[in-house]
Amino acid sequence: MKNYKHYLVALIGSALLFSCGNQNGKSSSNGALNSSNAEKVYVAPGEQDEFYAFMSGGYSGNLTVYGLPSGRMFKEIPVFSQFPTSGYGYSEETKPMLETSFGFVPWDDSHHPDISQTEGVLDGRWIFINGNNTPRIARISLTTFETEEIIEIPNSAGNHSSSFITENTEYVVAGTRFSVPVPQRDMPINEYKSNFKGALSFISVDPEHGHMDIKFQLMMPGFNYDLSHPGRDKSHGWFFFTTYNTEEANSLLEVNASQNDKDFIAAVNWKKIEEYVNNGGGTMMPANYAHNVYDEATHTATSTMKKEVLTVDPLKVPGAVYFLPTPKSPHGCDVDPTGQYIIGNGKLSADLTVHSFDKMIAAIEGKKFDGEAYGIPILKFEDILAGVVKSGGLGPLHTEFDGKGNAYTTFFITSEVVKWKLGTWEVIDRKPTFYSVGHLMIPGGNSRKPFGKYVVAMNKITKDRYLPTGPELEHSAQLYDITGEKMELIYDFPTHGEPHYAAGIPASILAPKSQKIYRLDDNKHPYAAITPDQTRVERKGNEVHIYMSMIRSHFTPDNIEGVKVGDKVYFHITNHEQDFDVPHGFAMIGQNTSELLIMPGQTKTSVWEPKKVGVWPFYCTDFCSALHQEMQGYVRVSPADANIELTWTLGE
């Protein structure tokens, strides 16, 4: 304890800057040098990891897949950002995925992945993730590991308290971080107060296909909605959102939004609102937002603009929304696996505030209110409080659970993970992180059934952990073994982008159903060449459509003539392989877009607008066989006024 006080004193000076927990680092990282710890993370050649970890890419806009405990990165799944590695967002089929009401937005800030659940248990069908900047929610298939759907969220800005899901994947939520005028209009910013609204969107998920649809938007007061978590088990049917800036300041929020001693956790009884909406409640409002769906049979995405959204005024549904006062600008909002405890982490405090769901219900039934905010009842802090974790750390952010009655909370300012006991609120252990930890993740740690073997800390600062790579370093993640009473730091590994949150799932759930190829006989792409005799070249005005196939180690056709300067050349390429992990690539000289990586059985289209007369090569970019280097072809480009017939050949 003495040691710990020393630590706190040392840190407090620099508390509101980034922490510098290094001074304790040497002594407390002995664990990592322990050979038994090396064995715990070593996955020998030919062996496979026990868990998949899906880490949000933050400003990369994507989602990365890692193995635990090895920390090996398996894949980057493109979601909200163009990805030249595969042609996502560049190919004609995937460009519609990035359409929005603002037009083509080829990037986003992806924050919080969440895996679909059935009865509160991870089922491994899909993973959802939010785009924070241009509000969007994406659904990714966990059989193909491809983004299948993206829905834009109207009336929202800074889609941060998202994309968390209810325990049967009934809804994905998209809570707005920034309140904005609804509908958007030209108005003075300093008239924010009482004029701006915070939309909490409930997006229904079709249980069979996963298709998303905004069921309703709850129009809340103009606070900032930070993070959220669905109720579990007994609290299923409720959703909890942390707020900050209940002051409704619009400038220098650093100071002005930190004045109230307590902000709120908004408790939303979504079942009540769902019932109200199903009975015809709510107001349909004009809107304009994109809904992009990727069809696996045609390998093609379509984007449609939706024109209205159902809004709900919380005051019209009495008993549906309450405010739970929570100290000091709470950030993380987490519900334990039993659904009893709602943990609000006051990012400017030292303590954790834990609300009791039972007490909350009792207080609501007893109408023990402490005033209201914009007509929404505020419950009395003392009536709903289950307990306080007096940790002495600073800046608690996020909490996950191990399923054995313990909770693990990250402290950003003091750079540490603190283990504490649900119910007694006693601190059991604390371990430093390196450095400035944000979220943490236990596989299944936000579900009813956590797999409490490891915790991964997602750190913001890397500094001296790895070899320096100039001023920019990949962020560091740290793996702790949590099977014992005390946590043990067992591994460090770099992560791509800025992982905010992550979701983990046992490999035994996902690996057996991972798709290996696309079946050629299921390929319904309108421009596919399913057999080599379907390959051809057609001209429609100045458009030239090349129906091409590829197999180890050639393109069919490989010589094309009759293309002219000013043409728009569409390469529709079908990979005829039906073998696991045999994609082929396609790249064309001078093309103003990216390569394509085409999976076995898949068709993709790339556009090329030749600008110069000549004979121009294309080639396969993905090493496919001993004769990969020979996998190439030529397009002859003639002057715009030339009279060359379209011809195409192979092997002549």
Partner 1 sequence: MKKASIVMMVGSLLLLGLYFFPLWNIMLGAPQYPEPLGMNIYIDGIKGFNEFDIQNIDGLNHYIGMKTLPKPEDMWEFSAFPKVIGGMVFLGVLIGFLGFMGKVNHKWFLGWLILMSVLGVLGMYDFNAWMTDYGTNLDPHAIMKLANPDGSPMSYKPPLIGKAKMLNFDVDSWPRAGAYMMFLGMLLTFVAYIMGKKSRNTKTS
Applying CB under 8 A, the residues found at the interface with partner 1 are 517, 551-552, 577-580, 625-627
CA 117 – CA 101 distance, rounded (Å)? 30
Smaller CB distance to partner 1: residue 119 or 579? 579
Cβ 582 to partner 1 shortest distance, Å: 9
CA 383 – CA 346 distance, rounded (Å)? 19
The torsion defined by the Cα of 409, 412, 414 and 420, in degrees rounded to 10, comes to 0
CA 603 – CA 143 distance, rounded (Å)? 18
Cβ 604 to partner 1 shortest distance, Å: 20
Among residues 549, 636, 512, the alpha carbon closest in space to that of 52 is found at 512
Cβ 121 to partner 1 shortest distance, Å: 30
Smaller CB distance to partner 1: residue 203 or 624? 624
Cβ 591 to partner 1 shortest distance, Å: 28
Q: How far is CA 247 from CA 222, 252, 253, 504, in A?
A: 9, 12, 9, 36
CA 223 – CA 241 distance, rounded (Å)? 11
Cβ 639 to partner 1 shortest distance, Å: 38
Cβ 46 to partner 1 shortest distance, Å: 9
Structural contact between residues 98 and 89, judged by C-beta atoms closer than 8 angstroms: yes
Smaller CB distance to partner 1: residue 332 or 600? 600
Cβ 552 to partner 1 shortest distance, Å: 6
Q: What is the DSSP letter of 357?
A: H
Smaller CB distance to partner 1: residue 479 or 573? 573
Cβ 69 to partner 1 shortest distance, Å: 22
CA 117 – CA 127 distance, rounded (Å)? 10
Q: How far is CA 299 from CA 100, 478, 525, 569, in A?
A: 20, 38, 6, 20
What b/e readout covers 568-578, taking b as 16+ CB neighbours within 10 angstroms?
Answer: ebbbbbbbbbe
Cβ 526 to partner 1 shortest distance, Å: 24
Smaller CB distance to partner 1: residue 22 or 578? 578
Smaller CB distance to partner 1: residue 308 or 579? 579
Smaller CB distance to partner 1: residue 9 or 626? 626
Token output for 345:
């982490």
Among residues 525, 532, 589, 539, the alpha carbon closest in space to that of 555 is found at 532
Cβ 579 to partner 1 shortest distance, Å: 5
CA 546 – CA 569 distance, rounded (Å)? 7
CA 309 – CA 175 distance, rounded (Å)? 15
**What is residue 53's three-state secondary structure?**
strand
Smaller CB distance to partner 1: residue 13 or 45? 45
Smaller CB distance to partner 1: residue 421 or 552? 552
Smaller CB distance to partner 1: residue 515 or 578? 578
What lies within 8 Å, CB to CB, of 24 at 6+ separation is: 7, 432
Count of residues making up the chain: 652
Cβ 507 to partner 1 shortest distance, Å: 16
Smaller CB distance to partner 1: residue 396 or 585? 585
What lies within 8 Å, CB to CB, of 609 at 6+ separation is: 566, 567, 568, 569, 592
Strand 147-152 to 283-295 pairing: antiparallel
Cβ 92 to partner 1 shortest distance, Å: 27
Smaller CB distance to partner 1: residue 263 or 577? 577
Among residues 197, 142, 146, 140, the alpha carbon closest in space to that of 163 is found at 140
Q: What number of other Cβ atoms are within 10 A of residue 50's Cβ?
A: 18
CA dihedral for 65, 71, 73, 76, sign (positive or negative) = positive
What lies within 8 Å, CB to CB, of 90 at 6+ separation is: 82, 83, 84, 593, 594, 596, 606
DSSP string, 166-184: -TTS-EEEEEESS-EESS-
Cβ 521 to partner 1 shortest distance, Å: 10
Smaller CB distance to partner 1: residue 133 or 603? 603
